[in-house]
Amino acid sequence: MKLLVSVIAISVILVALLGAQFIGVIEADQAMVASLSESASALNFGVTINLTVTVNGGKAPYTYAWYMDNQLVETSPSNQYATNALGVGSHHVYVQVNDSGNNSAKTLTIEFDVLPISSASGSSPPTSEQTTVTPTQAITPSSIAKHVPNYSMMLDASMIAVAALVVVIGVAVYLRTRKGRQ
């Protein structure tokens, strides 16, 4: 029995020295998925738009690089951005998120419109027939595939061979010890 305990102790020490990867530990990439939402898809000139990024995966803390109309406007640790200083017209926003493990994710681009301030005479709001929604980026199988976690198995052949050898020696010693007692 003491011999068996010694063999197990030596096996544990070898495992610690060689690393635990040989037993088939699966390392999962901490895939990050970032999504962007806005407070309104259309707003009047001078009204503040609030943008928020939600991140799943990765390793905090995160850094957010905010792009408006393909220009970097701010890099910050905040997942929220607000502005009321945009001109009349259509604007496009996306965010590049980086985590502390050097992983990154980019949100889909969203579009919103800044409308001119209405005149005093006013115009009637658009009817449902007049309202159209145009997506800024089509959702395709390839765009979805970019957000699927990537799993990879981290195995080293020499570590597997050493582990197998340790197990075989341990079993052989145990069986020999057990056979000697009978």
pLDDT at res. 165: 76
pLDDT band at 16 (very low <50, low <70, confident <90, very high): low
Nearest to 139 by CA among 42, 14, 35: 35
Of 94-98, 131-135, 144-148, 153-157, the poorest mean pLDDT is in 131-135
Q: Within this chain, do residues 16 and 40 fall inside the same structural domain, yes or no?
A: no
Considering the domain architecture, whether residues 38 and 126 belong to the same structural domain is answered as yes
How does pLDDT run across 68-125, given as a tens digit for each residue? 999 999 999 999 999 999 999 999 999 999 999 889 999 999 999 999 987 444 444 5
Residues 161 and 174 in one domain: yes
Q: Is the pLDDT of residue 8 over 50?
A: yes
> What's the pLDDT at 42?
87
Contact 36, 93 (CB under 8 A): yes
Best CA proximity match to 70, nearest among 53, 95, 40: 95
Do 53 and 93 share a domain, yes or no? yes
The alpha carbon dihedral of 174, 176, 180, 182 has a sign of positive
To the nearest 10 degrees (0 to 180), the angle between helices 157-181 and 2-18 is 180
Q: Which domain holds residue 10?
A: 2-25+154-181
**Domain shared by 142 and 100, yes or no:** yes
pLDDT at 17: 54
Band the pLDDT of 15: cuts 50, 70, 90. low
pLDDT value at position 23?
40
